[in-house]
């Protein structure tokens, strides 16, 4: 990829019924692609337990 691409690294903590909040989704938003497409360009990087 192009190192000059504007990107956001995002993390979403999963709100589970027990309230443990020990799972997360990590993703990357490509801001340039989102601008070009007119919609969110998101790639999930991982889904797993919070360390």
Q: What is the pLDDT of residues 20-46, one digit of tens each?
A: 999 999 999 999 999 999 999 999 999
Q: What is the pTM of this model?
A: 0.78
Over residues 5-33, mean pLDDT: 96
Residue 45 tokens, joined: 């990087």
Confidence label for 4 from pLDDT (cuts 50, 70 and 90)? confident
Cα–Cα dist 45/34, whole Å: 17
Which candidate, 51, 48, 2, places its Cα nearest to that of 25?
A: 48
| Domain spans of the chain, in order of start | 7-49
């Amino acid at each position: 990829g192009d190192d000059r691409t504007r990107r956001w690294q995002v993390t979403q903590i999963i709100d589970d019924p027990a309230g443990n909040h020990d799972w997360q989704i990590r993703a990357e938003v490509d801001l340039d692609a989102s601008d070009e497409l007119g919609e969110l360009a998101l790639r999930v990087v991982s889904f797993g337990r919070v360390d």
